[in-house]
Chains A and B, each alone.
Chain A
Amino acid sequence: MIILIISTLMAGGLLAWFLSKTNAHLSRIIALISLLLCSAAFLYYFITNHEIILASSGWLEEIHFTWIPQFGISFHMAMDGLSLLMIALTLFLGILGVLASWKEITERTGFYYFNLLWILAGIVGVFTALDLFLFFFFWEIMLIPMFFLIGIWGHENRKYAAYKFFLFTQASGLLMLLSILGMGLIFYQNTGKFSYDYIDLLTVQPEGTLGLLLMFGFLIAFIVKLPVVPFHNWLPDAHTQAPTAGSLILAGLLLKTGAYGIIRFVVPFFPVASHQFAPYAMVLGAIGILYGAVLAFSQTDLKRLVAYTSVSHMGFVMLGVFAFNELAYQGVVMQMVSHGISTGALFLLVGMLYERTHTRDLTQMGGLWQNVPKIGAVGLLFAMASLGLPGLGNFIAEFLVLSGSFQASKVITAVASIGLVLGTIYSLRLFQRVFQGSMHKDWRISDLSTREAIVMGSLIIAIVWLGWYPQPVIDIVQPTIQLVLDQMAMHATF
């Protein structure tokens, strides 16, 4: 299954690139078809196996080949509930990404869709790789096409943004590579053989300063990606400058690889060190929530505003992950999914408005509800999602994270929950500045097209469904969360 998806995406990307020479429109169709094929296969897999999936507590599917045996590097991939969920999100947002690019991208379409599909392939790989070398490999695969996506098809300041994105992630990735090597070496010292396998490295459990240092290697890579203040500066530029689908994938998926990494690797590998660092991490999370929200409020570039809301929302992830309890962890996973959907939707919305008005400047907009009430209603719904209105998925996420982190630290949570008020302030500003008040210009713009209505409609269904019946998501990831928490309980004493 995993191989099928990744290879279909990669092959689809190559095909889209080569065939674009004959027909420029062919590439987008190929991209869509390959994503739909993956989704159909994935759906089929899920439907036929859903009983096993919900019942099992281990890996649902595992692929294991030796790759470079001299160094203990193997081609080891596996999928559990968390991976499954994240792959589902990847495919879903991937399809929407292609649809969002349908008309926006007119230059070098073949290469564009190649990059898009390869990013998605890299992301699926990241969510499933169980060999640390392989993981690092996929980590890079999603980085480089994204660099091109921003640098070639981005907005006015795209080169700067692309380099910034590349340097931040690459520098932090390097630290992770060092930590991976360090873990491998310790395993060699302990057992006399090389291995970079997740299962093997779980037994390493480095302690003391060494443990802390190795943990920081991983953690920094992940919190740059997440991002956590003060490592967030690549994000506003990258998100603002990227084409719509790029922002969608950055916010919806790439940031989630950071959260995934912390849950999958940092906490199980270094329970003791994580536990030591937890208070500081939670403070960083709370700072991120507030700092991102204050900055979001002051932005006049609509896209930049949405980008900073991501900084704020990902603060909840940081806060929750280091609270080490089930409520918070379920909240974190819900946040990963809901934020992917809601912020993805907001970026799509900004893209639609940009396509129509050719501006992202909030001071130029205003009163657009008169012209485009449908877009307005969608904007209202997702502004509400971003302020955490109950009935939408983000509420479940924030509520669970905060109620979990409250058990870990009342003070930090109380401070973090100021973010709920600040979230209201920036979300309302976003909605009102665009859609309410008087019109500054005589905009004559059209409302949602059918293609756009399908895209937004599916996002709305997803976010409402998560808000009213999140239990399937909770059940799917429960075993994964239990394992992480067990690992924590086994090694760290509270």
Chain B
Amino acid sequence: MMNFIWLIPFIPFLGFLVLVFWGKYLSKRTIPLVGVGSVGFASLITILAGINFLSNPPANDFFELKLWTWMNVGGFAPSIGFHFDALTLAFVFVITFVGFLIHVYSAEYMHDDDDYARFFAYMNLFVSAMLMLVMADNLVLMYLGWEGVGLCSFLLIGFWYKESANAAAARKAFIVTRVGDTAMALGLFLLIIHFNTLDIHEILQKAPVQWAEGSSIATWAALLLLGGALGKSAQVPLQTWLPDAMAGPSPVSALIHAATMVTAGVYLIARNHVLFELSPIAMETVAIIGAVTLLLAGFAAIAQYDIKRVLAYSTISQIGYMFLALGLGAWSAGIFHFMIHAFFKALLFLGAGAVIHALHNEQNMFKMGGLKKELPVIFWTFLAGSGALAALPLITAGFYSKDQILWFAWSSEKGSPLLWAAAFFGAFVTSIYTFRMVFITFFGNVKTHVHHSPGKMIKIPLIVLATLSIVGGFIELPHNFGHITIFSDFLSPVLPEVVLGHEGGNTELLFQLFTGATGLVGIYIAWFFWFKNPSIVYNLKTSSFGKSLHGYLINGLGFDWLYDHAFVRPFTWISNINKNDAIDLLYTGIANGAQGLNKSFSRMQTGNIRWYATGIVIGLIITLAMVLFL
């Protein structure tokens, strides 16, 4: 069975090829059969491979499959090959399973689009590339998947390419992530010098032997890889592309910009955890960036009007939590939050998409309202997702995954009160912006009427994801409450356990109560300001201080402005003034000089004998003078 895992990325790729070459000739009924079917088939193989993997765990806890040697240059020989362990399985499961649900949803959601086949072609290609990314046994192949998902993200953000704003958003996403990718590429070059291989397993074994803990070379390697992770996972300072990426269709936002691609950075760091563990500085950087990002993005989310932009900032913020967990060395907590986040954030994006569809492409929340009655299924599932996002205590999966991170921010060896405070305050902000969104969208007066209600293909994925957002958390419960560790046990062969520092477990309950209560307070605040007394917010917003604060928040805290002035404008300016290539002036100068000389010399050829005689005399005098005096 395990020898067939290459089919997992290959079948979606096949789907892509079929849709590219024959999409034009397929009917609207057969297109989703290919597009959705290929991902469904991949998830089926994943489940079989997963069962096989869990029932007969391979020796060393991983399975390797080398298809062929990609290139072999003087011993540096990355292969086209796969590495399959528990971490891979967790990611592959989310990609194929959540991916499948999103594809089912898209079959209805995109049905009336002219470019139905093109949409599924890109989506299939994306799934294939994403699977390559997480299954690759070496970093070059991973880079292939890494860039491949970047391409698909570009293509799908700009899917409605006739709007130049969409094209600009697509371009921005590609370029900003490419900045991070370039740092990552340099990291790969550094690893090649030291290990002459990019096989992940080999590097992770060699690194602790060759490099001392805290050595500057390990820090460099880890930080350069981190650069790539920051770009893809939209963390500060490379987060600016993700809110704009919402220009793509909603299923794209759900699949790429919530559930899978944006968590590639989390995967990269977890996969190379040994390198990061060798560098305390890098670990600290990861944790701090996570903490800063989760706060900044949370603040920005409170001010947004566009429902998808709220969710985009929320995604940035939640990935910040994952980074925080990784930086603390709480590897499995980070991956657990990744999985739960994939469930509830995909759900929220799909729910938002259904609302947008029902309201005829209205994305402004303030033009929505009262949808609770009109779209009940959407409402209840959206509420389940929102509860998980706001980490409602006990009943939602988000509580268990986030609580773990908060607890480790306090209690782990690398944790600190400051990191905990950031995470705690972030959780508070999260519940505010989440329920602000829920109250504005689903409660109050109806502002726009529902055009058409969603069908089965949209509802079923929502219900499945809503269920997972509730019960998904029960596979990992805190040790003072149930103490179930299915998920962390599953990952333990790959990822080391978090090192606890000060403070024992007896305060944990206190923290949990505290966190749980804050979530509820956040919901109350959201209810109070955006449902009960919206005039307070309105008055604040119209005051001059409120106006500038609101402007600052809604524009993502000024990062776009800064980058525009620091990079984009200088670049286009330099590029434009030098459009005609200044170096060419040198050569035209030579040419003109030669022509000028030619002209002046030809002017002397007048045919006038007196001129010639004068010339001869002057020449004679100069020559004589030189002979005499030199």
Contacts and interface: CB of A to CB of B under 8 A. Distances in A.
Given A295-B578, A407-B193, A417 B586 contact: no
B175 A424 contact: yes
B69 A435 contact: no
Contacts of B574: 294
A437 B162 CA distance: 4
B175 A294 contact: no
Interface string B143-176: 1100110010010001001111001001100110
Contact of B185 (A389, A417, A470, A474): A417
Interface string A154-174: 000000000010000000000
Given A326-B74, A406-B190, A399 B185 contact: yes
B179 A326 contact: no
Interface stretch (A78-86, A105-113, A228-236): A228-236
A400 B73 CA distance: 9
Interface in A304-340: 326-327, 330
Interface string B173-199: 011001101100110111011000000
Contacts of B72: 471, 474
Interface string B65-87: 00011111110100010000000
Contacts of B33: none
Contacts of B192: 327, 403, 406
A488 interface: no
A205 interface: no
B182 A390 contact: no
A259 B185 CA distance: 25
B178 A468 contact: no
B149 to A, nearest CB: 11
B24 to A, nearest CB: 9
Contacts of A369: 161
B575 interface: yes
Contact of A236 (B143, B164, B581): B581
B587 interface: yes
B584 interface: yes
B579 A367 contact: no
Given A327-B73, A425-B175, A471-B71, A295 B579 contact: yes
Interface string A457-472: 0000000000011110
Nearest to A300: B579
Contacts of A326: 73-74
Interface string B575-604: 110110101101100000000000000000
B148 A390 contact: yes
A407 B195 CA distance: 12
B579 A437 contact: no
B578 A298 contact: yes
A468 B174 CA distance: 23
B140 interface: yes
B20 interface: yes
B56 to A, nearest CB: 32
Contacts of A471: 69-72
Interface string B109-148: 0000000000000000000000000000000100110011
B186 A437 contact: no
Given A327-B74, A432-B171, A471-B72, A389 B188 contact: no
B241 to A, nearest CB: 13
Given A389-B147, A428-B171, A418 B182 contact: yes
Given A326-B74, A367-B162, A418-B182, A403 B584 contact: no
Interface in B468-501: none
Contacts of B154: 428
B162 A438 contact: yes
A384 interface: yes
Given A229-B583, A468-B70, A298 B189 contact: no
A429 B584 CA distance: 24
B187 to A, nearest CB: 11
A418 B178 CA distance: 10
A420 B163 CA distance: 27
Contacts of A232: 583
B282 to A, nearest CB: 18
Contacts of B162: 367, 370, 436-438
Given A299-B579, A402-B189, A417-B186, A330 B175 contact: no
Contact of B73 (A233, A429, A474): A474
A396 interface: yes
A156 to B, nearest CB: 17
A395 B575 CA distance: 25
Interface in A367-418: 367, 369-370, 377, 384, 389-391, 395-396, 399-400, 402-403, 406-407, 413-414, 417-418
B453 to A, nearest CB: 32
Given A390-B148, A421-B182, A233 B188 contact: no
Contact of A233 (B69, B163, B587): B587
Contact of A432 (B73, B74, B148, B167): B167
Nearest to A308: B581
A260 interface: no
Contacts of A164: 587
Contacts of B144: 390-391, 395
Of the candidates A384, A390, A391, A417, the one having the most CB atoms from chain B within 10 angstroms of its own CB is A390
Contact of B579 (A298, A390, A399, A429): A298
A403 B182 contact: no
A377 B584 CA distance: 35
Contact of A435 (B148, B161, B193, B581): B161
Interface in A65-79: none
Given A298-B572, A298-B579, A437-B162, 12 more contacts: A233-B584, A298-B578, A299-B579, A399-B140, A402-B189, A403-B189, A403-B192, A413-B189, A421-B175, A424-B178, A435-B161, A474-B72
24 contacts: A233-B584, A294-B575, A295-B578, A295-B581, A298-B575, A298-B576, A326-B74, A367-B161, A389-B148, A391-B148, A396-B71, A406-B192, A417-B185, A417-B186, A420-B178, A421-B178, A421-B182, A424-B175, A435-B161, A436-B162, A437-B167, A438-B163, A468-B70, A474-B73
User: Which 7 A-B pairs give the minimum distances between C-beta atoms?
Assistant: A390-B144, A406-B189, A436-B161, A298-B575, A326-B74, A298-B579, A437-B164
Interface of A: 164, 229-230, 232-233, 236, 294-295, 297-299, 326-327, 330, 367, 369-370, 377, 384, 389-391, 395-396, 399-400, 402-403, 406-407, 413-414, 417-418, 420-421, 424-425, 428-429, 432, 435-438, 468-471, 474
Interface of B: 20, 68-74, 76, 80, 140, 143-144, 147-148, 151, 154, 158, 161-164, 167, 170-171, 174-175, 178-179, 181-182, 185-186, 188-190, 192-193, 571-572, 574-576, 578-579, 581, 583-584, 586-587
